Structures are given as C-alpha cells and as structure tokens.
Homo-oligomer: A and B are copies of this chain.
Amino acid sequence: MAWSIAQVARSSGVTSRTLRHYHSIGLLMPARVAPNGRRYYEQEQLLRLQQILLLRDLGLSLDVVGEVIAHRDEQDAIEVLAKHKEWLVKEQLRLGRLVQTVDATIDNLKRGGEMSPDKVFEGFERNPYEAEARERWGDEAVDASYQRMRGWTEADAEKARTGYPRVHEGLAALKAEGVAVTELSVQELIQLHHEVTCLFWTPTREAYKGLGQMYVDDERFRQNIGSGDDALVEYMRDAMTVYADSKLES
C-alpha cells in the first residue's frame, strides 16, 4: 500500500516540505510518482526515512547522512560518527571559551566600562612628535600604532605613560654605578622599554637596534632621554643592541 506525502509526514514528524526537499536532493526518493506528480511512499522508504532522521538529529549534515546510508557499511558509519563526535566536542569547548570571554567582557563593562576612545587617546592626541612620526614612518605605521592603542587596558595606558621615564631614570642610575650593559639589571630595564614600545608597535631585531641608534642620532630624543648626558643615550643604545641580539627575532 502506498502512503501519501502527508501521511508519511504526520507519521514521521516532519513536514511535507521536508520530504519534497529530500526528494529534490535525492536523499529520499518516493517509491512511485504518479502521472499527476503525486509522491507515494512504501515501507522501504519509511525505514530509510527513520535512519535519515536518526542521523540528522545527531547533527550530521544531509550530505553526510546520504553517504553513510548509501554505503551501508557499518564500520564506515562508526568512523563518521566518531569523527563527528570529535567535532562536537571541539565545538563544545569553543563555546565554553566563548562563555568565559563573554563573562570577562561583562565584568569589564561593569567595572569602569569599556575603554572609551577619548580616554585611550588622552595625552597622546597632542603628541608633539606625531607630525614627524608620520613623516618618518608614514601614516600607515602611525595610524596602526593608534589602532593598537585602542586595545589598551587601563594598565597598559598607565604603563605607556610612566614606562619610558622609569627606564631612563633607572638606566641613568645603573650607568652611574658603572654597571655593564650586558648585566641583568640593565637588560631588565631594557625589557621594560621593549614592552612599552610593543604597546605602540612591534619592532623586529634590526628595527629595535635602529631605534636605539635613532635615539643617539636625533637631537630631540637625545635631549629627552639623556637630559644632556649624551653618553647615557649611547649606553642605552648599546644595551638595546645587546637585548635585540639576544632576545629578538630577526
């Protein structure tokens, strides 16, 4: 006895549209299509439909469902399911991480709110060196730096404001004591300098050494860093060179 599409639909809990769809993609062909176009199904198609729905409800795509059912190989099916399970687990973990991130974002919003742009750029927008920086490194680099600044937390911003002066003062003290630039205490300060620099851009080894040299070459940097003590700036350059060669990737 032949079943109409609506009977199959009701008995299997799907819509007739779904059955038509399965027909159109060749996943479940009716047993017979009458000359008037109506679809009729038999026992065999109902069984196949049950298998299709079972696999579909496991989250497999219809493509995969079709393949699994077509192959009729049990070992194959197990493999597909095992792979699918792996994917499910991965996806589950991803969602778990997302939940944590969302939580963190909510926390961040509740405490002091999101970094508003005004706050981030406070104290930097009128940077007297910006015009020259654009000239020297190009607009893209400068703007990229600004973009990076938007990712700052409050702590980052604090670090950016106070980091460089602390490095300069610390270096001056160590140099006065005659500490070699290869010493750990000096290198730790340079590391701080590097970290602060990385808040703006990420220098490669050569770029970082070039930055040290620029401090020496440019009178304004020399003045800003050494406050008259040109030897201090050279000391810093040497320390940066040591640091770059030992810690940075080319």
Q: Is the C-beta of A152 less than 8 angstroms from some C-beta in chain B?
A: yes
CA distance A11 to B74 in the complex (A): 49
Interface size class of A (residues with CB under 8 A): 35 or more
Q: Is the C-beta of A106 less than 8 angstroms from some C-beta in chain B?
A: yes
Structural contact, A147 and B46, CB atoms closer than 8 A: yes
Structural contact, A50 and B116, CB atoms closer than 8 A: yes
Question: Chain A contact residues: over half helix, strand or loop, or mixed?
Answer: helix
Structural contact, B78 and A110, CB atoms closer than 8 A: yes
Q: With a CB–CB cut-off of 8 A, which chain B residues contact A120? A: 50
Structural contact, A3 and B151, CB atoms closer than 8 A: yes
Shortest A36–chain B CB gap in Å is 21
Q: Is the C-beta of A202 less than 8 angstroms from some C-beta in chain B?
A: yes
Q: Is the C-beta of A25 less than 8 angstroms from some C-beta in chain B?
A: no
Q: Is the C-beta of A182 less than 8 angstroms from some C-beta in chain B?
A: no
Q: With a CB–CB cut-off of 8 A, which chain B residues contact A151? A: 3, 6-11, 50
Residue positions of A touching B, CB distance < 8 A: 1, 3, 6-12, 43, 46-47, 50-51, 54-55, 57-59, 74, 77-78, 81-82, 84-85, 88-89, 91-92, 95-96, 98-99, 101-103, 105-106, 109-110, 113-117, 120, 134, 139-140, 143-144, 146-153, 198, 202
